[in-house]
Amino acid sequence: MSQSRPLPRIDRTRLRNGMILHARTRTTFGWLIRRVLKSWGSHDALLWHGPSGGWWVCDAMPPVARLTPLHEWEQRVLDGQAELRFYWPVGAKAMDGGVAAKWWVQRVTNSPYDRCAFPRLLLKALFMDVWERQAGKEWSWYCTEGVRGAWQYAGFDVWGKNNPTPGTTEKRVESGALEDWTGQVSG
């Protein structure tokens, strides 16, 4: 008799525009990111409730930043390809999340993925960040960079530095700048 996994349950009534989806992906790329960063997660994205009434994940992933239906992430969880956590900036209101999500949708969607940032981010992870300039190109985005840009525009720069990574996001949860809403959103 085969064992089936329980269906992931995401309570959509608890979701907010701009909520941070922090993912642990089970891909080679995800494993490499986790190993280099010494982090649990390998990807950051925002949630957005689109005009069609459905929930979307604002994903900056190769080759271009795009809107992914939330049910695709749920299927990845069901297939054992991902685990999800949900975070919210301390002190932010629902309308702030709306501002962040709208900024991401208007500014980041369809932008090229920022592959040029990776050599610098690798050096930063292995040694330390001694160069504060942006790691990649101004017109392209990697996952946490887009999330940080959106929340910075909304007035909540909890990352507080250029070139944040999923590891930086986890440090902000540990410091109390981001609240972990995972238990309230999924079960």
What CATH number is associated with residue 114? 3.90.1720.10
Residue 5 included in any domain: no
pLDDT at 140 > cutoff 90 = no
Q: Domain residues for 80?
A: 14-178
Tens of pLDDT along 76-132? 999 999 999 999 999 999 999 999 999 999 999 998 877 555 555 555 554 555 555
User: What DSSP state is assigned to residue 64?
Assistant: B
Q: Which of 18-22, 54-58, 111-115 has the lowest mean pLDDT?
A: 111-115
HSE-CB at 87 with a 13 A cutoff on CA atoms is: 30
Q: Which residue has the tokens 């942006």?
A: 134
pTM of the model: 0.85
Number of domains in the chain: 1
